[in-house]
Homo-oligomer: A and B are copies of this chain.
Amino acid sequence: MLFFYSISIGNLEKSQVGFFTVIAFNGVSYFFSKEIGVKDVNFEISQDEFAFLIGPTGSGKTTIMRLIYMDLMPDEGFVTVGGISSNKIKKRKIPMVRRKIGMVFQDYHLLSDRNIFENVALPLHMVGIRRDEVRERVMNMLNELNIEEKEKKKPFELSGGEQQRVCIARALVKEPEVILADEPTGNLDPVAAHDLIKLLENVNNEGTAVFMVSHNYNLIKNRGHRILEIQMGEIQNQ
């Protein structure tokens, strides 16, 4: 398949797990039903890395993401996120893992009964941040993504690309340890997509790991970032 090849730039050793590594997959398999799911996945993402995950539709990219934010639990092996392992975590501790992660969902998951500001502010309220600080951080984030004038709108009043950017704002605003973005440019025009990658690179430079799913090979090539390729649920030549 012409479009997919991978560049490995990570030279991490196993010993670094838990200190430099923010996400680690250890022989992870998950099956929705036989043959469907992901199989024996092994990879690591270090604290300051920017990595892409690429693969055809239905190959298991979203499944990998869901394993990271522990929406799915591995059938075999274990996933470690920010030092917490999926085979040891108690169910009620899962929210703590998710708070370390900024997630951009493929299907947005915006709350339709709240406006844009409230949607983006939610992760901050969850950790009990003061109202005025919330306001400042949210507005900064909306500015950064050029959707500040949509502040008072409900999600359904926004275009596809605008909703996608709200979702990105919500992921970034809590200044997470790692950002997971599942196809965050699917509804963005090339300019906006390019701007988004730039933004994520800036965030990455400030020390946040970024792990992003994309189909748009043209957008991600030649940027010097690691590219993981997945096919039929298996990670290819890493």
Contact = CB atoms under 8 A, between A and B. Distances in A.
Contacts of A186: 160, 183, 186-187
A217 B56 CA distance: 20
B161 A57 contact: yes
Interface stretch (A95-103, A115-123, A188-196): A188-196
Nearest to A160: B106
B107 A62 contact: no
Interface string A74-96: 00000000000000000000000
Given A56-B192, A57-B192, A192-B56, A160 B183 contact: yes
Residue in A3, A159, A162, A165 with the greatest tally of chain B CB atoms within 10 Å = A159
A1 interface: yes
Contacts of A1: 191
A94 to B, nearest CB: 20
A112 to B, nearest CB: 12
A194 to B, nearest CB: 10
Contact of A3 (B57, B187, B189): B189
A226 interface: no
A157 B32 contact: yes
Nearest to A149: B36
